[in-house]
Structure 1
Amino acid sequence: MVVEAEVMRRTAAVLEAESECETTGVEEVGDASLAATAAVRMGSDATMVDVAVTELDIRSSDANPIDPVEPLHFVPSIRSGSFADIGPRRYMEDEHIRIDDLSAHLSSILRCPTPSAFYGVFDGHGGPDAAAYVKRHAMRFLFEDAEFPQAFEPNKDFLKSVENSVKRAFLHADLALAEDCTINNSSGTTALAALVFGRFLVVANAGDCRAVLCRKGEAVEMSQDHRPIYAAERQRVEASGGYIDDGYLNGVLSVTRALGDWDIKTPHNSPSPLISEPEFRQAMLTEDDEFLIIACDGIWDVMSSQHAVSIVRRGLRRHDNPEQCARELVLEAKRLKTFDNLTAIVICFSDEYRSSSHNNQQQLPRFRYCKSLSADALCNLKSWLDQDGYN
């Protein structure tokens, strides 16, 4: 009875301690862990106190969220994977771009914050010409002709200049499609571009591709689908002289923003129901931001943003391979009977899954297989055991 009482007393103490930890909150636990890690690296208890205070001060300050990045802040470790499939369609009209190290890729012409990365998905319609053309010339449109800003540290002015430059690039690409006589004027493409500069994510979208950020397991949409059912787009279309018929722009197109499609657009410098101007969304990445999915509407037609995030998160925990995760998204969309081409890119912002996937692999049971023994072998085994006193 004395032993049982002692066990119950210790159990109650543990439960009380756990309750206190829960009321402390996730953010405080994260801060303490980060400070402790920094202290171990610095090598003294006194340093641990200094680092903890500094980190908490930074987090609790009212500084502008797009001020230059401090050294103690989270810096993304970028890696990605992609997968594309024709799906049930007769022709493949999707294109995509994946550059994990933009600074190295454009070192001769661009000076930008690090890490830096660029991703794009182009979902063509009316033939593959427009999407293929935009992919082929995207680097020139975005980083050469559009006077892309240059800086070593991202801040508010730099990010605003990035948006202006990307907007010019979309409009320039749209006009180039009109002027190129090899491109059919009924061919068009949606376009979604995602850029990372240091801690900052910038997404530009024209059409119904979608970017979704995973933040602590929750889906955060980083773009708005430009479809006629979107109230703001419907209002803009009708104000410019267009109309919506059975969910289609002017009765023929399922999106309200796209590059190309010059058989629908009105002449230059006049209001048009179909435009190529992108909408922008920004995010400051933190330790809570795990990965970004960008994909064409063939994915989003049959699954929610949260469903896609759950698939990728589960895959990363299992094998930590973003390319395999992109493939799993595509296969899930095919299983759900999508009607379109399929393209997905998964961009990871940390290495946190690498240790968990490695541990999962180590914990897998190792099975030993043996053949069944013959009757003679069983008799021999029994006699050996009897001789050794196992009887």
Structure 2
Amino acid sequence: MAAGAEVPQPVRAIMSGRDNGFCMNNDNTDGDSKDRYCEMITGKPPRPFAAIRHCVSTARLAGPSESELELDVKGSLSKLSAESGKTFTPVFRSGSWAEIGPKRYMEDEHICIDDLVEHLGTVSECPEPGAFYGVFDGHGGGDAAIFIRKNLLNFIVEDSHFPNAVGKAIRNAFMQADHAFADACSLDSSSGTTALAALIFGRTMIVANAGDCRAVLGKRGGKAIEMSRDHKPNCDIERLRIESLGGCVYDGYLNGQLSVARALGDWHMKGTKGSSCPLSAEPELREIVLSEEDEFLIIGCDGLWDVMTSQCAVTIVRRELIMHNDPERCSKELVREALKRNTCDNLTVVVVCFSADPPPRIEHPKSKVRRSISAEGLNNLRGYFD
């Protein structure tokens, strides 16, 4: 892409933090803007250990390995529709909430598209129904998060592999968006962002993650299933990859500078395009076929997961949905709870429901025999104790 070129048909973000007045940065500011960039450091600043309760994911990842994710969505949908007894059709509805938290500047962005076919129009042929959601946690400035939020979906649907091989299209889109950001000379290419996106066609959901945002699936009965892995530099898999490419992990930071092992942007750390670099923009993909057992998806930046376990978040959202069935209020409640737990970062949460109805209450028949605690009750207790 030529330097400074605009990417066509930008994707409209719903309730992004910057669009709702959370970010204090304005291109028309003078002295205050200069002070902001003087204060910015390359990566996310260290946080007080007393405020960080849960820094790494603990639940087991769902879905197959990456080698199994080059799926043909059209073929998958045809196969699913032909299966007997498989009549579940998800209904996508979402809500989001973002707050600046204790930081001086808001660098998070997010996007919620409940009807992908209507959103894209005639731009691309895609299976129906479809939805797209994403959270982008910026650092070192907001340029990278804004650019990726606006353009990532376009790169996915314009890729030659879309929609027949969606896994390849998503991987290519992450890399192309990263390179396009480097070529956008009007933007600060030293800023960076993590990116987590969920693309859903029919019952097939693919979660792509590069960084330490996290997606968690809420199952019937209140069980939490993690759909992404936190890409922290001191994670064994990431540390080995970093060291094999000549990098190092110092005090939990990639090359002593960045608190994530994968990110888009940060071109002062990547060198030339196409070269091997310890800081990777390649996403890790997970795929699942949704069923009646899948109630909702939570997507949040690390400001949430630093102070809350995946199970606790699912317990809170399920409880709230039973009360009022409003995913936006659920997102707000998670943000409020994270602030009460003294998170040190910006906060952005998206909750996606797969049904128009609230989760069912689990009723157990009365019995004279003393029962042990139910699976739902056990999950609720775990969430409350967390």
Could you state the TM-score of these two structures normalised by the residue count of structure 2?
Answer: 0.71
Name the count of aligned residue pairs. 283
Distance change >3 Å, CA 66–CA 355, structure 1 → 2: closer
Unpaired segments ≥5 residues, structure 1: 1-63, 151-157, 357-391
Q: Relative contact order, CA 8 A, sep 6+: which one is greater?
A: 2
| Counterparts of 2:203 and 2:219, CA distance in 1 | 14
Q: Which amino acid aligns with 1:325?
A: C
Q: Which structure 1 residue ranges, 4+ long, deviate > 3 Å from structure 2?
A: 64-67
Counterpart of 1:104 (choices 100, 118, 128) is 118
- Could you tell me which residue of structure 2 aligns to residue 147 of structure 1? 160
Contact 2:156 2:162 in 1 (8 A): no
| Counterparts of 1:111 and 1:178, CA distance in 2 | 29
Greater per-residue helix proportion: 1
Greater C-alpha Rg: 1
| Counterparts of 1:271 and 1:291, CA distance in 2 | 37
Counterpart of 1:339 (choices 341, 344, 356) is 344
- Could you tell me which residue of structure 2 aligns to residue 221 of structure 1? 226
- Could you tell me which residue of structure 1 aligns to residue 193 of structure 2? 189
- Could you tell me which residue of structure 2 aligns to residue 68 of structure 1? 79
Deviation at 1:183, TM superposition (A): 2.1
| Counterparts of 1:307 and 1:352, CA distance in 2 | 22
- Could you tell me which residue of structure 1 aligns to residue 91 of structure 2? 77
Task: Show CA shifts across 1:174-220 (max 9, x none).
Answer: 11121111222320000011011111110000000000001121110
Contact 1:69 1:198 in 2 (8 A): no
Q: What's the Cα RMSD here?
A: 1.7
Q: Which amino acid aligns with 2:260?
A: V
Distance change >3 Å, CA 241–CA 66, structure 1 → 2: farther
Task: Show CA shifts across 1:242-261 (max 9, x none).
Answer: 00000000001000100000
Contact 1:66 1:284 in 2 (8 A): no
Deviation at 1:106, TM superposition (A): 1.0
Contact 2:318 2:359 in 1 (8 A): no
Q: Which amino acid aligns with 1:320?
A: N
| Counterparts of 2:233 and 2:107, CA distance in 1 | 22
Map 1:91-130; keep pairs closer than 5 Å: 91-130=105-144
Q: Does 1:349 align with 2:354?
A: yes
Counterpart of 1:169 (choices 150, 167, 173) is 173
Q: Which amino acid aligns with 1:149?
A: F
Could you state the TM-score of these two structures normalised by the residue count of structure 1?
Answer: 0.70
- Could you tell me which residue of structure 2 aligns to residue 281 of structure 1? 286
Counterpart of 2:332 (choices 327, 334, 350) is 327
Contact 1:207 1:225 in 2 (8 A): yes
